[in-house]
Amino acid sequence: MADALIQQPVDDGGDIPAAIDLRAEYAESGVKDVLEELDRELIGLKPVKQRIRETAALLLVERARRRLGLAHETPTLHMSFSGNPGTGKTTVALRMADLLHRLGYIRKGHLVSVTRDDLVGQYIGHTAPKTKEILKKAMGGVLFIDEAYYLYRQENERDYGQEAIEILLQVMENQRDDLVVILAGYADKMEKFFTSNPGFRSRIAHHIDFPDYTDDELLQIAEIMLAKQNYHFGGKARAVMADYIAARRRQPHFANARSIRNALDRARLRQANRLFETAPGPVDAEALSTIGAEDLRVSRVFAKAREEQPA
């Protein structure tokens, strides 16, 4: 069995090198670029970034072992991303696809993002072709299944999700050298899903928890989002945004960075209306690029917060 795991080195000349410089491999493979881009794109998430770095290190070592002619087998790379909405799971999945491609563990490096509706049919004979078509598109890359726990609804005896699960499990086992599956969703629901579907748990090697952002991190995210669209906070707007974040976090349906993006979209809408209604004449680039405190203070979040304060 050990002999079956030994593969030929990948050097063009066919000679097995005496040693491999892992740091040079790290730089030349482009992994360093992927990790640095992840740092630039995502604020915080230190434990997530650490797990990604550890995974990259493992894959670099495995690739080095292969080049040295050592016994090895392709590591299981299927993953679970657990966390609340807006914590960067999709962004990290995209970077993971890029990283795996650069290291030669997937052929294409693309990511196909789906939900239950893309995989599960509504009548007999509909689920298998839907699931197989998605798998065909994802082959050679990463399949990202958001809210994966909705794949099978135990309360419905006629649910067709189990058929999709069985097809997925078979492909995850038999074609794991050509497809990486990432399951994502709320932590508690994902745990329940794995408990009721032990086949998935046994095929998932990497479980990564995505923490909520802190208030300070969300404020930094807000500034980055504005900067990408050539906007910035003016006057006391940054302080008002900090108050908004603290208030919004205490209210229902908070979705981390997603909620911040929605709040900024509404602020831009108010800013545009304010300029149309109050500008006495031509407006310059500075006025068109500034989100003022007044564009944030009128949010219903503040009104609701005041209502919830004890008398």
Look up residue 166 and give its two tokens. Answer: 């069985």
pLDDT(9) > 50: no
pLDDT at 311: 55
pLDDT at 155 over 90: no
Residue 133 pLDDT greater than 90, yes or no: yes
Q: What is the pLDDT of residue 157?
A: 65
CATH code matching the domain that covers 215-308, chosen among 1.10.10.10, 3.40.50.300, 1.10.8.60, 3.30.70.1150: 1.10.8.60
Residues, the chain, total? 311
79-89: average pLDDT: 95
Is the pLDDT score of 308 beyond 90?
A: no
Supply the DSSP string of 285-296, one letter for each residue.
HHHHHEE-THHH
Share of the chain above pLDDT 90, in %: 64
Exposed e or buried b per residue across 65-84, where buried means at least 16 C-beta atoms within 10 angstroms of its C-beta: ebbeeeebeeeebbbbbbbb
Q: What pLDDT band is residue 95 in, cutting at 50, 70 and 90? A: very high
Residues forming beta bridges with residue 112, ordered by sequence position: 143
Residue 5 has pLDDT above 80, yes or no: no
Which of 16-25, 50-59, 129-138 is predicted most confidently? 129-138
Q: How far is 300 from 311, CA to CA, in rounded Å?
A: 19
> Rounded to whole angstroms, what are the CA distances from 117 to 134, 150, 193?
11, 9, 17
Q: Is 40 exposed, middle or buried (0-12, 13-18, 19+ CB in 10 A)?
A: exposed
Q: Is pLDDT above 70 for 13?
A: no
CA distances from 5 to 2, 13, 65, 73 (A): 5, 22, 11, 6
Supply 155's token pair: 């309360």
pLDDT confidence tier of residue 240, bands split at 50, 70 and 90: very high
| Whether pLDDT at 271 is above 60 | yes
Query: Is 233 a residue whose pLDDT tops 50?
Result: yes
Instruction: Give the single-character DSSP code of 309.
Output: S
- Of 57-66, 152-161, 167-176, 283-292, the one with minimum mean pLDDT is 152-161
The span from the CA of 307 to the CA of 151, in Å, is 39
- The C-alpha atoms of residue 243 and residue 236 are separated, in whole angstroms, by 11
What is the predicted pLDDT for the residue at 4? 34
Q: What is the DSSP string of 245-287?
A: HHHHHTSTT--THHHHHHHHHHHHHHHHHHHHHH--S---HHH
Q: Which CATH number fits domain 2-210: 1.20.1070.10, 3.40.50.720, 3.40.50.300, 3.40.630.30?
A: 3.40.50.300
7: pLDDT strictly greater than 60: no
Q: Which residue ranges make up each domain of the chain?
A: 2-210, 215-308
Please provide the distance, in angstroms rounded to a whole number, between the alpha carbons at the two ends of the chain. 74
Q: What is the pLDDT of residues 166-205, one digit of tens each?
A: 999 999 999 988 999 999 999 999 999 998 888 888 899 8
As separate numbers, helices (DSSP H) first and strands (DSSP E) second, the chain gives: 16, 7
pLDDT at 310: 63
Gap between the Cα atoms of 52 and 38, Å rounded: 10
Average pLDDT, the chain: 89
Can you give the pLDDT at residue 22?
83
Please choose, from the candidates 302, 199, 294, 191, the residue with its C-alpha nearest in 3D space to the C-alpha of residue 251.
302
d(CA 56, CA 96): 9
Across the strands, what pairs with 114?
145
